[in-house]
């Protein structure tokens, strides 16, 4: 006992004299004190921003990446009353997953970007290295705040690393948030590498200019939006693809639109249309795609291809134009599969627009495109234009699957050609986040807002000419026409909800083109998502106001 007291006395004396010995000076292990020092340190942190972005928009779980497609004008749920936006009063409740998960992921990205930005000031990086890191961090902060403003309206602006508990956040106005977006993306556009210098998957100055234009449009700065998109379109390293290219360019049927979505073509040196491609690698650690299990990847095939489980497709699932391992959750609306193409074959564009060709938008199954029918020697044609639209059978765009090109590990040992295991269902390609065609349509929107419908029609017609569609006229130019063209060109590819909510037309478009969600309780105030209940309740030091219409 005496020895114990003596020891405590010595320690107490040591404390009273000098407590600096408690301050660790890490020299041979990683800690918060030395994690942000070198260019390699900061690059590792920036790489995590790319991971967080891919996780939110492409691969977080089974449903959340598709929150940007369900509940819009393009698809409806083949399995009603799920958390995929059915029962909308429940789907959009402030305590629900949809509003909460995306809020948290967006602010997580902002938090990590802020840490990079703040800590870079005391780093060992050169000026060139510093600009490289800051331009990427500010890009991800800017695009995250842009999407927060689109989804929730005005939100708290946090521009520095939060290092202590804080419970008194207040909402900034949407205009204040968007002005910060402009500031961040303008810096990124001036400091990011050019598209021909950036490696595959990395953001470049043209990507920043495109999203900068979206922020300008939201602020009513139409001429600035035109200037930003023009920098992208006029860049000598970009052009719409107009000739066949890539890994399957010799196949028939096929065309340049088909080639855009084939495996390995997204990052092809020949592809001058890809502006930003999200990278996936199969069966590589961190690559996001696995053949042994259905997890982590982008399950667009599983969601948007039909559950083709009826006679004579008894060998379901097969990996051809019948949709791979689809299960028919996201059924194409009549608007998406018919209306935007001219409703039926009596309209010239139904037959002439290559984006509506059967290999690009599959609606007819016969021996030319279904191995199941060929093997069974069934000569009857099965058309979605004749049979009822249902979860098991509907028209879908082939861009969501990889016909005859699934990974070897997904094929079953079977006498049936191209039969897939239950682990299939991903879309086994890299994914476009941004293509030049979208920039043309965004500039058309800016020209329209600037009261220049003729120039808007010119940009729309660049896209339509590539697709062999009839030319639009200036008299036809309105926001509905541009949104229809975006559906034709970018359907199930763009984050449709962000486009419709940015324009404030989500409710209007669903009301006119997707009666399923009107039956499920679509309301005008769903043009904005609610501020998550946890954020409001935990913000004890100030009032974090809820969006109108939500309890």
In the predicted model, is pLDDT for residue 260 greater than 80?
A: yes
In a domain? residue 69: yes
In the predicted model, is pLDDT for residue 112 greater than 70?
A: yes
Query: How high is the pLDDT of residue 139?
Result: 98
Distance of CA 267 to the CA centre of its chain: 17
In a domain? residue 78: yes
Alpha carbon distance 38, 488 (integer Å): 46
Q: How many percent of the chain have pLDDT more than 70?
A: 94
Among 279-293, 337-351, 472-486, top mean pLDDT goes to 472-486
In a domain? residue 258: no
* Least confident among 31-45, 60-74, 212-226: 31-45
The verdict on whether omega for the bond into residue 317 sits within 30 degrees of 0, i.e. cis, is: yes
Tokens 């929730």 -> residue = 152
Number of domains in the chain: 1
Query: How high is the pLDDT of residue 60?
Result: 79
In a domain? residue 158: yes
In a domain? residue 57: yes
Query: How high is the pLDDT of residue 84?
Result: 84
In a domain? residue 56: yes
- DSSP H or E segment with residue 349: helix 348-352
Section 434-441 average pLDDT = 98
Among candidate residues 300, 301, 299, 384, the one with its CA nearest the CA of residue 337 = 384
Query: How high is the pLDDT of residue 170?
Result: 97
The model's pTM is 0.93
* pLDDT classification of 27: cutoffs 50, 70, 90: low
**What are the counts of helices (DSSP H) followed by strands (DSSP E) for the chain?**
20, 10
Section 43-54 average pLDDT = 97
In the predicted model, is pLDDT for residue 414 greater than 80?
A: no
In a domain? residue 213: no
pLDDT, the chain, mean: 92
Q: How many percent of the chain have pLDDT more than 90?
A: 80
- The three state secondary structure string of 380-410 is CCEECCCCCCECCECCEEHHHCCCCCCCHHH
Query: How high is the pLDDT of residue 293?
Result: 83
* Least confident among 34-48, 151-165, 232-246: 34-48
Q: b/e string for 373-382 if b means 16 or more Cβ within 10 A?
A: bebbebeeeb
Among 239-248, 289-298, 342-351, top mean pLDDT goes to 239-248
* pLDDT classification of 25: cutoffs 50, 70, 90: low
In a domain? residue 265: no
Query: How high is the pLDDT of residue 11?
Result: 34
In the predicted model, is pLDDT for residue 370 greater than 90?
A: no
pLDDT digits 0-9 by tens, 305-322: 999 888 888 777 777 888
Around 287, how many Cα atoms within 13 Å sit in the side-chain half-sphere? 12
Q: 106 is in which domain, residue-wise? A: 38-162+506-551
In the predicted model, is pLDDT for residue 279 greater than 90?
A: yes
CATH number at residue 150: 1.25.40.390
Query: How high is the pLDDT of residue 34?
Result: 60
In the predicted model, is pLDDT for residue 197 greater than 50?
A: yes
């Amino acid at each position: 006992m005496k020895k114990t007291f003596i020891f405590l006395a010595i320690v107490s004396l040591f404390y009273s004299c000098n407590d600096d010995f408690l301050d660790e000076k890490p020299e041979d292990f990683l800690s918060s004190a030395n994690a942000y020092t070198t260019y390699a340190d900061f690059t590792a942190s920036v790489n995590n921003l790319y991971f967080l972005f891919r996780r939110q928009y492409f691969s977080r779980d089974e449903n959340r990446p598709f929150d940007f497609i369900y509940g819009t004008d393009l698809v409806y749920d083949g399995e009603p009353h799920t958390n995929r936006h059915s029962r909308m009063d429940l789907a959009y409740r402030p305590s629900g997953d949809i509003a909460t998960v995306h809020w948290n992921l967006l602010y997580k990205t902002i938090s990590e970007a802020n840490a990079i930005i703040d800590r870079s000031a005391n780093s060992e990086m050169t000026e060139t290295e510093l600009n490289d890191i800051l331009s990427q961090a500010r890009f991800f902060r800017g695009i995250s705040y842009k999407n927060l403003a689109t989804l929730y309206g005005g939100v708290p602006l946090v521009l520095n690393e939060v290092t202590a508990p804080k419970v008194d956040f207040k909402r900034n106005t949407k205009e204040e948030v968007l002005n910060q977006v402009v500031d961040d993306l303008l810096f990124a556009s001036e400091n990011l590498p050019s598209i021909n210098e950036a490696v595959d998957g990395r953001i470049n100055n043209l990507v920043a200019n495109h999203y900068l234009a979206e922020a300008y449009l939201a602020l009513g700065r139409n001429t600035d939006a035109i200037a930003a998109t023009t920098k992208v379109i006029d860049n000598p390293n970009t052009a719409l693809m107009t000739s066949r290219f890539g890994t399957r360019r010799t196949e028939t049927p096929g065309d340049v639109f088909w080639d855009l979505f084939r495996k390995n073509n997204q990052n092809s040196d020949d592809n001058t249309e890809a502006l930003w491609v999200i990278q996936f690698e199969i069966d590589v650690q961190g690559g996001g795609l696995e053949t042994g299990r259905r997890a982590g990847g982008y399950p667009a095939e599983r969601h948007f291809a039909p559950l083709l489980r009826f006679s004579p497709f008894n060998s379901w699932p097969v990996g051809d134009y019948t949709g791979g391992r689809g299960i028919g959750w996201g059924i194409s609306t009549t608007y998406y599969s018919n209306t935007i193409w001219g409703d039926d074959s009596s309209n010239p564009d139904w037959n002439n627009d290559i984006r509506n060709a059967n290999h690009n938008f599959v609606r007819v199954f016969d021996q030319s495109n279904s191995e199941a029918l060929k093997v069974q020697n069934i000569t009857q044609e099965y058309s979605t234009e004749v049979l009822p639209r249902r979860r098991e059978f509907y028209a879908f765009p082939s861009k969501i699957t990889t016909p005859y090109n699934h990974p070897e590990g997904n094929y079953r040992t079977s006498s049936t050609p191209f039969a897939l295991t239950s682990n299939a269902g991903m879309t086994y390609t890299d994914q476009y986040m941004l293509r030049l065609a979208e920039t043309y349509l965004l500039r058309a929107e800016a020209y329209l807002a600037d009261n220049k419908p003729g120039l808007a029609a010119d940009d729309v017609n660049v896209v339509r000419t590539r697709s062999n569609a009839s030319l639009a006229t200036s008299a036809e130019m309105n926001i509905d026409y541009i949104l229809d063209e975006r559906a034709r060109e970018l359907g199930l590819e763009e984050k449709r909800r962000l486009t419709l909510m940015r324009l404030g037309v989500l409710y209007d478009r669903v009301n006119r083109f997707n009666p399923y969600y009107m039956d499920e309780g679509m309301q005008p105030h769903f043009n904005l998502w609610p501020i998550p209940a946890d954020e409001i309740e935990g913000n004890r030091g100030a009032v974090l106001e809820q969006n109108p219409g939500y309890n």
